[in-house]
Amino acid sequence: MTATINELVQRLSAKKQEVILEDRSDSYEDIRRRIESGFVHIKFTKTRGTGTELGINVDHSKTDFKSADFNKKAGKVHIEGTTILNYNPVRCIADIDLATKIGKGRLEVIEESELVIIEN
């Protein structure tokens, strides 16, 4: 059973918002490796304080970085993955411009059974 939907989750689910992929100072090779290994950080920049950074378990079946060139720092990355925010299981859906590591993203409330589990 899903908990009552938190106000922050509601806001981040309502429409696409500005997001940043990882720390903007991270190397492109590190970012590529983390996407491939299945765990990245995506930060929603327009929330209170310094933003809301989420650790996302990447769903490789829905993530696409074929048009990205990490060596040239160009192209687009589509990332989808899951996490829990304020007791609500959510899917993060984000499209990122690799040149700036900035893009648009939103959350989607999901059932707990839909969470992607990364095993190391």
For 42, residues 6+ apart whose C-beta sits below 8 A from its C-beta are 19, 20, 21, 22, 53, 54, 56, 79, 92, 94, 105
CATH of domain 7-114: 2.40.250.10
Local confidence pLDDT in tens for the 120 residues of the chain: 446 899 999 999 999 999 999 876 778 899 999 999 999 999 999 998 889 999 999 999 999 988 999 999 999 999 999 999 999 999 999 999 999 999 999 999 999 989 887 765
- Length of the chain equals 120
- Cα–Cα distances in angstroms (integers) from residue 40 to residues 7, 36, 59, 69, 78, in the given order: 24, 9, 11, 18, 12
pLDDT value at position 27?
87
pLDDT value at position 104?
98
pLDDT value at position 79?
97
pTM more than 0.85: yes
C-beta of residue 114 within 8 angstroms of C-beta of residue 105: no
